[in-house]
Structure 1
């Protein structure tokens, strides 16, 4: 964080700051205590606070030694030692618990262990007094020195007191606000209208310290013992008096019904002189007042009259004091909260704290060295203590700073920022480590300190007006922690109870992280992510539940002596691995096929089987596998089988044991058995030899579908069948034959069967292609036209072809059959009778028939074809008919005419040449003596007589016929 260590250019001479440890302990309110050593968020559990019975409504002061150890605290009336016990002579002081600033403690110059407590009472009628406390008294617990108690400096004053260190010395000034006519013996009268200052002086050598009784004469007021404040003429009893940490400004806050407000004056810490006309910054009720550590910013509250039961309101206001001409216009009201009035107090961390009545939290003005401050109402938990109206008052110059220092960490770039930066024209720096730097303009400067320690930093500053100032300040550079590596053997864990996580004690890594670094200087904490580690928030419990898998743990090493939140820390990370117990079950048998010996003994390649085991286990990461001959060896990780060479089984099956070892944790392992099995060759079925007839073309070869034999070869087992032309190919599985395979003559086929286990067997069978008979080619065959033939049919006597078909073969050894199609002949279907008749087909003169010659012994056959010729039979025309319905020659019937000619036309004429009847092939009806042409068409029978006819065949190969016919009844 940016600690408030700044510079105001209005200083006249250089100064050195005192240590801030005297302000480490704050005791206030009702039993409340906060320790700013080193960090203000540490609620004190010291019994001095809890058992003192301390309860003050407003004014309070406390003091610690140079190491930050509490010495004593007071409400202005009673002084309690560090054990919470009132000092023997520590009661009855002139202060009052209801005074705004009831007391302030000033370390005696040049006298170790001596302190002056300046006290003021309530209202305008109580004195400003001081008492001397020596810590050597009362057995080292301290006491008020008799005779130097309640020494009056001013007989009456307001409820205000302040102090600052004299420039260039260890002396100090005590200041108050009162009536100009008041003295150490007279309360005076009228309004509070004057500022007073007394010197607290020490003399080295005799090492004596004392408070000068007379106020410092004010040259601006004619040498009188006070400085007039006409603009602040008011009762002005309530509200704070504040001197800036650099001692150059003084602010008076008043919360009275008249002339209330905030007034700003100048002060010279070198000679105790007040000056200025009194700049009124506000005219409202001001109670709490405070300067930032750099003295650049002034803060005050605007609070209603004291009303702790409710209805109170508090506003917080900031002013920038750098630009003297525009202080009022820089007003910044940045908070408005429902609170009662309360004092403001600068802390050793550079932030300004706010008293909150009846609350268990201190408020804090954060970013108080910037133009954008914020108010945090719950900054510090003080429970079970309770806040009231006041916070401890300290010598403000204890907090004085000449420049802001950001990042006081070894090895980091430490920033130095002068206050009122725009007014800086040049600066010349000596960083105290041998490094110097001259800068032109108001820039921020940096220096990197290689070694931790305290360095005296000095700077010569020239502002834009030509004013030259020297400033000196001690700063502390703190060690930056280093996260040393963690022992990797501590990072792996086994979830041996299968709970899904493992409790890991993170504290075991602390020594590794620290390495050679001092454990008293560095705090180690652990976090779930880098963001939390960097911010130092949400630390993990030391008994951390690490889940299965990788757990990234972030570690923060932090210098606990560095200022609060100042970043003197480092973060790093390591990975905790929690592995599940590797397990595997139901490992499949490792099966291999027996060789030709069929002795059940084989060599097993166990290395090739390990991936199968790993897959069955779910492929766990970080696991090694070893194989053992016994469960005991697997459990003890002894006698592992060398998997780089083949392992020969002794029995089949034989049980082996695999050990799954998590490589990160020797105690994280699992075991499981599996079998080595030697499988015998499969039993194949017997395939009968195959004999087939040669088919067309008759070349002595035939195609075979080899897979037709698969079921017989497999003999009911599951597997794959292949076929080969040699035994060697079948044994090796090489050169498998195609499924459809052409055999010529006689050939041995070798079948290979591989079952699902991968074991193979072979068998063989013969395929023989038998020759087809040499069939003869029969000559053409003409239909028969004789008296026995029905002219409606063509008749063929097929047996006349037998001799030609036999082609000289013995008819006793063969069967001959005839068919109308080659397909029927090939399949021996739809065989024709030997006396084959077929209806006349107009226009058809030839056709084919197919002869099949089959060997009665082999069943092999052959086919041939021959032509049958359709010839027209001679037509006989009748010379008469008698259409008398006696059933004999009732029509002029011409057998074969319609059957043999499909395009003829018949006309019948009477003796006069007239057509009396006409018919044709398309609508042929035999003439029954009734005319269908001429005048007598359809009118009964024609008379007896001779009639003439003409037949036109409409066939170029046939001459037309003309003749006569006689009709008689």
Structure 2
């Protein structure tokens, strides 16, 4: 190699590597499953095991931060975070495999965490499919949402219908904006501006002297320097390659070059023709354009082979002819069936131009900026299998000199302090614009360029406001503003709440003070003598003051957020001495214990103790104690005294009681009663009491066994908390089983404790005997120390809502009732009450009996005034109050009629003889008819 060419090779290699050191495109996801990581050298390459989850997608795109850390990736349908999990709201999106350049991710200008996902898709609007054109949608992703899991906050927002079967993104001239470009219909190219203010839905339209639409699946691509656009349009039997110059300050395109390859669809064989493939890429410096030309050899209609030729064209050519003749053939692929072996191209972060081979490797142009020494490698990156379709990225990620995103802007994100107002601010657009803000969570709408909103107490940590800016012509700009509620540090003031008038250097402080926090203290009723501006102060208190205060304002010096605290202090000669703090439950092993209070400077503390000894610390705020081993409990309190220039003060604390479990080994569990739960069959309620629940180091348990079987095994039913006093649990009692119940627990010192045994009450009713009496029987209740006071019987008839007391059985466990005729359905339960404790009781199950109560209608009565059989008495008619009785004489004349008959017809003023009756009862369609004889 001549020396000058060798030096050129070195210079191009060094400059290219420096230019393409950007990290935003470090992670490549192929469809369906190849992966490359350019953070390593050489790049890590592998096939992902989850290959099938991408198999229907044409393209993937991803975005990384400036250091190369993956943020998220998508196939246009599903969004995956850096942990390869589906994001919140991350599926159900438009996008797919119907075009050649359909997907792109770009950062939202001026935003730290927000990104646009741009996608074009066919058939995604509500029109009939045959009427649909290509539609461009965009979504907005917040990678910081969900504690870094990411969330899609705007979903499938339509930018334009019936345009956009391919898209490209250019960097704006200001370095802080973008242009989204798509081909329109006919001769139009549309450029949508994306700025800090959002996405402008009204495009800048350029008219081309060429036809740019109406054919095939084209691909358009931007140059890395955002100065050129290339478009290959597969018209019928014609491949058209077009190059445009782009003004990235105005969004306007100017036609620069157009190359055509005419060919005819073969009608006879063999046939031979050439066509441009829609695979191409720019060099990073924007001077070279790499394209693929396919040569097709058709021997028959089905016997078709093709090979691909990689060609470099010079974008600095001065004419269309010069551009056409500037081609340099770099590589000709081996022939393939129907197509050659060169596919999609993409600049890579390691300084190469990589391209698909439709096999298990990628080819590479290692020096794409070179005018003529490209260093092509056919098998540059080899996989174990076909990796899939190469991903797509914005071209400006690879521009020479590097991509430098605009810094975060306050317009994009508002950091909000708790308790403050929310100031929203839109970019200034000029006169005649309207501004509409919508809260993403509540859908509340606000108007104005800079509204200031009140913030409710339940305002979320993160929310979003959607901004629609509209000009006079109706053109819209859409934007998203992220509002973050800054976390406020949580502090508490610690110090003496009760002090003697005139006491000096009393300390007040906050625990765990955060760095970058300014503390501003104020005192009412005293004077700060040291510590202002820090997390701890000392105060000299003045004269008697019941409303003295220590106040603190703490300010986060990073974000300016403030918090406020007040701490009341009583300055008085009668001190409210703090209760000692320390262990209240002693160990089962003998040991010494430490107790203390918050000290106040100048105070003397005289500790008093019962059932123990002060070993150390008398006179101070902390002591060491030895409790007497034989005492069940001990007591500790403090007498505080202070002498100042203003007052002599004294105080006495509340008493701290301690429990010695070793001396309380005779503790018991008070099982009070077990009862059925009224109106809830199969539910039992158990009441109990533990005097010292802290003496049980684990849950209690209820056990049961069948009553009367002393040798039966106990079975655990349910766990109990020692600190509670009742529990409801299910017990299947349909078979009228009587159970014994017992509560058991383990004492903290290791011994087992058991309660008395109680049982449930089961009520049974054999039925109704021939004498129309009801017999009820139940088992006795056992478990109360003083026995049962009595058994009360309660009854509910028919449609009555509540039970009512009926009678009491003092001792017997059965009863016979004669009042069967009181109703059709009789429901009963029994209540046992403890002797001497009316609040301890047990209810039985509920038993219901139903009786038909047929009527008995007499055929004769004697109304002669002897008070015997003087009335026409229909037995049990009172159970059928909705009745109507009609009496006819032998001639068919009605002589008596009454609704709600109550057995009061005596045939008054009527002669003896035969009468016909008709009785109707509501619900009884048949009724009753017959003759009755009146004898006088």
- TM category (shorter chain) comes to 0.3 to 0.5
* TM-score for both structures, normalised by structure 2: 0.36
Radius of gyration: which is bigger?
1
- The structure with the greater share of residues assigned to helix is 1
